[in-house]
Amino acid sequence: MSIPDSVRQEMQSRGLARLLPYIPRLLHPFIRVMVTGSDLDTWLGTELNADSLEEIYFHQADPTPVGISKIGGWPDIWPGFEWPQVKEMSLPLLAQFRMEDIAPYDEERSLPTQGMLLIFYDFMADLEGEQAVQVLYFEGDFSTLQRAGI
């Protein structure tokens, strides 16, 4: 990947030209997923506050269809699924992405175009250097998926 002229000029103006040879190894396309409060309100069908989040997370079923891309909630799991854990602590779902939804944005075509990517992450964990993130990939039959939950 080449260095954009604007980046090259900015680095040179700040006396960082010596670092330019290293930049191509660091530049990679990425896919940004953004969620706003109004998106969450629509998804949850309610205005968010601490009490409603607790009620929804612990007591209500996830209203989204099984097998779609989503942020948070309960994951869609398959037979034989093992919940990601660190030090006997289950990690919460950060997001799940249907790769078919992501494929149009994968400029380098480096990701699978089918299946489901699930990202589990606990940003509150105090794990003393343990990895609090795990990524799982499911490439099986979506009809075998079911919603995890209470």
What are the per-10-residue average pLDDT scores of the chain (150 residues)? Answer: 85 93 80 67 51 51 82 92 87 92 89 95 68 90 88
Range of the domain at 16: 1-30
Q: Is the domain of 79 the same as that of 122?
A: yes
**Partners of 118 in the β-ladder:** 96, 136
Residue 117 pLDDT: 96
- Number of independent structural domains in the chain: 2
Q: Is the domain of 36 the same as that of 100?
A: yes
Q: Is the domain of 78 the same as that of 139?
A: yes
Q: Is the domain of 76 the same as that of 25?
A: no
Task: Please report, for residues 41, 70, 127, 150, the alpha-carbon distance to residue 35 in angstroms, rounded to integers and kept in the order given.
Answer: 11, 10, 27, 25
Residue 30 pLDDT: 80
Cα distance between residue 118 and residue 125, in whole Å: 19
Q: Is the domain of 95 the same as that of 45?
A: yes
Q: Is 0.75 topped by the overall pTM?
A: no
